[in-house]
Amino acid sequence: MAVKIVPIDNDLEEIQQEIDIMRQSDSDYIIKCYHSYVSRDMKHIWMAMEIAEGGSVNDLMFVMDEVMTPQQIREVAASAMLGLVYLHRKLIIHRDIKAGNILLNEKGQVKLADFGVSAVLQSKNERCRTAIGAPFWMAPEVIQEEPYDGRADVWSLGITMIEMAEARPPNAHIHPMRALFVIPTQPPPTLTEPDDFPKDLVQFTATCLTKAHDKRKTSEEMLKHPFIEKTVRRLQKEHGVSPIMEKLVRKALPAIQEFRNLDSDDSDDEEAYEEATFDPREEERVKANLAEQERKDKADREKVQLQQAERKEAERKEAARKAAEATSQVRRHASSADVPVRGSDGPHKLPLIRPGTLAKKNIKKERQTLKAGNAPVNPEGFIPKGQQNNMEFEDVKKMLTPDEATGGTEQELRDTFGATVMTKEFIHLLKKSKEKEPDLFDILNSVTDPEEAMEMAVAVLKLAVGQKPVLLRELDGEDDDR
């Protein structure tokens, strides 16, 4: 068993959704959550989860310093697609598929994890519009806030295919804020050297990366692709166990353990451990608090559902009344005109309009345009939630400038932010700045000097929050308050 410690940070509902998705999932391709506890100071949640000894696919490639072979990619792709099929049947969109969120255990099973930004739909016809996710893996329709469904996850898996084959996702050479504008405008990415890979792997990746989301195949349709079809059938018979992945994990375990030992003295983890230590004597009190919170949440949901039902019933009755009036008027008109019916001497009788028909059409139209209103917004987001509306210059500078104290490079910075979930608010911020000063982004794209690129990035963000864009070099030596 593994324990994941999550700071609450006023996002209890979002954390609870992640826990609920894992606890309610019963699949060989989804990581399980057995139980969750709240710390004594109510600042952290401990999640008792199924252990994945091999860590993530990204971790494994990092510690082994090698990319995955085509056969290993096939195994991961088949398992991940089976996991997506399971989620999509339950009307769940993952929205953060990448190598860092695909875990491996010692048995050789491949499992999807991290549902912090997942969306739970209410019907098959419902679509999301929220722009959220890790920039390099986001589908074009997600970035553009067009209606999307589970096929956005299929795109992300296609990007992950390239990531597993080349160690980096496409566009990793540019700044993630630039990638948000490049992805929707450029053709779908491809493998750098497609001739080095089997044709069915290249075709599978290209199919996942169909740019028009309405023409992109669903996860269920992708199961029949020749690249993974046979592997899917074998995995289903063996409950997801892959001898190929088992061999890979066992080979990588010593290096993974060594890497974890080097990172075991992380002060943040120690602080979280001390604060989150659970007192068994207070278990009943915590359970009572959670039960009370769950009762309140349920009551609130029922209240909202009741209000929505009453509103829809009123709309239905009003539409039925108007339809009846229209029918009556048409009948009176037809009766007075005595319009003959072919083969009959009597007046023409119009077909009866069933009460509620118009209302049902309106409801159907409304459902098709619904947004995922309960979708999580910002667990571990690019900008902390409390800072999004009050960004200061120093916050932006720290966020976009390499840390000299830790020796961080511009590429490491790019990798970190490129794999971090960007929030809806931050993406809107970038789009607003793009509208105001598009030339700044063109300049940023052509700049080769890392320091100058960072300066231009900060200038763009300063402009987006309504402040005069001043380059970092112009601020050197000036008052910090400015």
Give CA–CA dist 259/290, Å, rounded.
36
CA angle 169, 132, 7 (to 5 degrees): 100
Q: Quick one: which H or E segment has residue 92?
A: strand 92-93
Residue the block writes with tokens 């952290």: 44
The radius of gyration of the chain's CA atoms, rounded to the nearest angstrom, is 27
Query: Tokens representing 3?
Result: 């324990």
Identified catalytic residue from 11, 28, 59, 96:
96
Task: With beta carbons less than 8 A apart as the criterion, state whether 19 and 80 touch.
Answer: no
Q: Cα–chain-centroid distance for residue 137?
A: 9
Give CA–CA dist 327/401, Å, rounded.
68
Report helix, strand or coil for 69. coil
Q: Which residues contact 272 (CB under 8 A, 6 or more apart)?
A: 5, 7, 44
- Burial (CB count <10 Å: 0-12, 13-18, 19+), residue 94: buried
Give 410-439 as a DSSP string. HHHHHHHHHTSPBPHHHHHHHHHHHHH-HH
Residue 9 sits at φ, ψ, to 5 deg, of 50, 40
Q: Quick one: which H or E segment has residue 20?
A: helix 12-24
Give CA–CA dist 409/26, Å, rounded.
42
Give CA–CA dist 255/263, Å, rounded.
13
User: Residue 284 to residues 15, 227, 291: CA-CA distances in angstroms?
Assistant: 21, 52, 10
Query: Tokens representing 122?
Result: 């209410």
Specify whether 297 is catalytic: no
**Active site residues per annotation:** 96
